């Protein structure tokens, strides 16, 4: 984690833009930065089959989220107007008692904080009902 983020009170996120290799479904996974995200386990939980989740390429990321590699963020779901990207949230981000949840605002050169209920409201306003998953 970046040194300036270590002093923040709340949950700092990491974001993964993934695709289902067989059905071509897209997923944006937002988890606490210190969580392990096992792609095989997550694929099973999402019903896409073990071994079928892969990192999506930058072309898909630019097309759907309007951000480049290294800049994936739940805030970019604003640009997924056909709701073809499913949002997967670490359950701890919204149920873990965090005062703030921190994301990159379309660039990895900055970080912004949202209260968990504001994050959920934003996602619902963009048509992305999050799938809550537990990551350990």
Distance (Å, rounded) from C-alpha 34 to C-alpha 48? 25
Which DSSP string do the residues of 45-92 spell out, in sequence order?
HHTS-TT-EEEPPHHHHHHHHS--TT---GGGGGG-TT--EEEEEEHH
To which residue do tokens 């306003």 refer?
125
- pLDDT category, 8, cuts 50, 70, 90? confident
Asked whether the beta carbons of 74 and 105 are under 8 A apart, the reply is: no
Mean pLDDT for all residues in the chain: 92
pLDDT in tens, 40-95: 999 999 999 878 899 999 999 999 999 999 999 999 999 999 999 999 999 999 99
Domain positions in the chain are: 3-130
Distance (Å, rounded) from C-alpha 33 to C-alpha 104? 12
**Enclosing H/E stretch for 35:** none
Burial level of 110, CB count in 10 A (0-12/13-18/19+)? exposed
CATH class of domain segment(s) 3-130: alpha beta
19-23, 31-35, 101-105: least confidently modelled range: 19-23
């Amino acid at each position: 984690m970046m040194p300036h983020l270590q002093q923040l009170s709340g949950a700092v996120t990491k974001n993964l833009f993934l695709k289902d290799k067989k059905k071509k479904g897209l997923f944006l996974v937002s988890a606490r930065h210190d969580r392990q995200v096992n792609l095989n386990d997550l694929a099973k939980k999402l019903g896409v089959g073990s071994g079928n989740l892969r990192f999506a390429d930058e072309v898909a990321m630019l097309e759907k989220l309007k951000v480049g590699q290294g800049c994936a963020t739940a805030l970019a779901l604003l640009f997924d107007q056909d709701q073809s990207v499913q949002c997967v949230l670490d359950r701890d981000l919204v149920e873990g008692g965090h005062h703030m949840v921190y994301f990159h605002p379309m660039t990895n050169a900055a970080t912004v904080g949202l209260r968990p209920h504001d994050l959920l409201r934003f996602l619902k306003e963009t048509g992305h009902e999050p799938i809550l998953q537990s990551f350990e």
